[in-house]
Amino acid sequence: MPQLVIDYLLDSKQPGYAFASPSNGVSEAVRKTVWRHAMPRGKGWGDFPGMRSIKCFPVSDALAAVSTITVTDREDEEGRRGIRRAEIDLIPLTEILTYVQGLLRALPEPIQQSSAHLFQAGVWARILDRALPKVGRKQPQVVFVYPSHGADSWQVVEAAVLRLAAAWPLHALPGWGRFFSFTTLALTADGESRVVAIPVSKTAPADHRHVVYLPAP
């Protein structure tokens, strides 16, 4: 299974994000798509040290990328925090649901159970309302919102996103199908995946009617 790495290279003549791994036989077209989409969007990552995000997106008709992003404790050349590192696995689309289910099973059992309890009837109703196509609206997007109290507490949100990505209800809706993109942690929903989770501190009052608040487990 090919893997790519994007990291912030401080020791180069021009510090900045770059591929920090060999091409591993990956085509230039796939590398360009990975480069555009591997990092979750938003500003202010220095406020979220140690947090992890998993971002899944298509890179071709037959291939998906699963990017695992870590917010490191490193600083850039100007002392700014929030440097991220992304490790990207390339998975055949035919295997992506099995892969996502494996990511969910790899989380601690109490986290898996807590994430299942988040999907109360009202939450499902809100998810389906946001996911259904509506006249005059752009491509439907489900935006989860939850308080952020560090990497450990966010695991339940990660599990909730993975659970939704692997469950049948959204896949059965028009326009969603067998595969859709998701991001378990971003700092804005703008330009992000079909399913995305953001900290409540990153929402504005105008956003509140468009999001799905996950209840405390």
pLDDT, tens digit, for every residue of 109-154? 999 999 999 998 889 999 998 998 876 667 889 999 999 988 999 9
Cα(32)–Cα(74) distance, rounded to whole angstroms? 26
pTM of the predicted protein model: 0.93
DSSP state of 130: H
Note whether 158 and 168 are within 8 A (CB): no
- Do the strands 195-199 and 182-183 form a parallel or antiparallel pair, or are they unpaired? parallel
Average pLDDT, the chain: 90
pLDDT, tens digit, for every residue of 34-65? 999 999 999 999 999 999 999 999 999 999 99
Note whether 127 and 168 are within 8 A (CB): no
State how many domains the chain has. Answer: 1
Question: What secondary structure does DSSP assign to 164-214, as a single string?
Answer: HHHSHHHHTSTTT-S---EES--S--TT--SEEEEEGGG--GGGGGGSEEP
Tell me the CB-side half-sphere exposure of residue 83, using CA atoms within 13 A: 18
Note whether 191 and 41 are within 8 A (CB): yes
- Which parts of 29-79 are beta strand (E)? 52-58, 63-71
Three-state SS string over 179-190 comes to CCCEECCCCCCC
Select the more confidently predicted residue: 189 or 203: 189
Q: What sign has the CA pseudo-torsion 27, 193, 105, 156?
A: positive
Tell me the CB-side half-sphere exposure of residue 2, using CA atoms within 13 A: 17
Question: Residue 16 is part of which domain span?
Answer: 3-213
Cα(185)–Cα(193) distance, rounded to whole angstroms? 10
Q: Which amino acid, 11?
A: D
